[in-house]
Amino acid sequence: MIRVLVGARSTSVRASLENVIRSSPSVEFAGAFDPSEFSPSELSGDVLLIEVDDASNHDWAAWADLPIPVLLLLDATDSALLSSVLRSGIRGAISSDATPDEIESAVLAVNAGLVVTTPTSLAGLLPPPPITQELTEPLSGRELEVLDLMTEGLSNKLIAHRLNISEHTVKTHVASIFAKLGASSRTEAVSQAIRRGLVML
């Protein structure tokens, strides 16, 4: 059973999130905390579910560096905020209006190592490039395989295991994918690939 630690500045929001987790059959409530008073030494679960408000700590990199995955509930219509969150390395960011079923599914996904967000939010991260413009240098078959697994949110280590190649080879392919797509991050590469029809969600 996946143990979920919920965080929010508001006691009422914490109580609401606790009810969501306790009512979900696939996850277990591990406790609640105020993010403004949280210490990594207090980790007691498998996934952190944190509601973000205007007064919350926005040190995304610090949250991303925690040893367990973080799922944020935030204003998913703010593409600039969402981009900042995902680029920091945080695994999941969904709308604060998400239903209990959507929250449960997102928790299961980030716990499995996937990157989770809403399709409409992902599409809004980047200005659309001209889809008809072909790449100067097309992706190789192996690079397309790596890109497809990147879309699933797999790490280089997991991609290497899935394709039965070395992690160093995966890093080389990822660097080549970035160069060919003109991307500077995995999120940007995936977004570019989706817009160009190179991968399917």
CATH topology for 2-123?
Answer: Rossmann fold (3.40.50)
What percent of the chain is predicted at pLDDT more than 90?
31
DSSP label at residue 127: P
Domain-wise residue ranges, the chain: 2-123, 141-195
Q: Are 6 and 29 in contact (CB under 8 A)?
A: yes
Lowest mean pLDDT among 32-41, 74-83, 139-148: 74-83
Q: Sign of torsion, CA 179 180 182 183? A: negative
Q: Is the pLDDT of residue 130 over 50?
A: no
Written out in words, the top-level CATH class of the domain with range 141-195 is mainly alpha
CA separation for the pair 12, 50 (Å, rounded): 13
CA separation for the pair 47, 176 (Å, rounded): 32
pTM over 0.85, yes/no: no
**Residue with more model confidence, 183 or 201:** 183
Q: Is the pLDDT of residue 61 over 80?
A: no
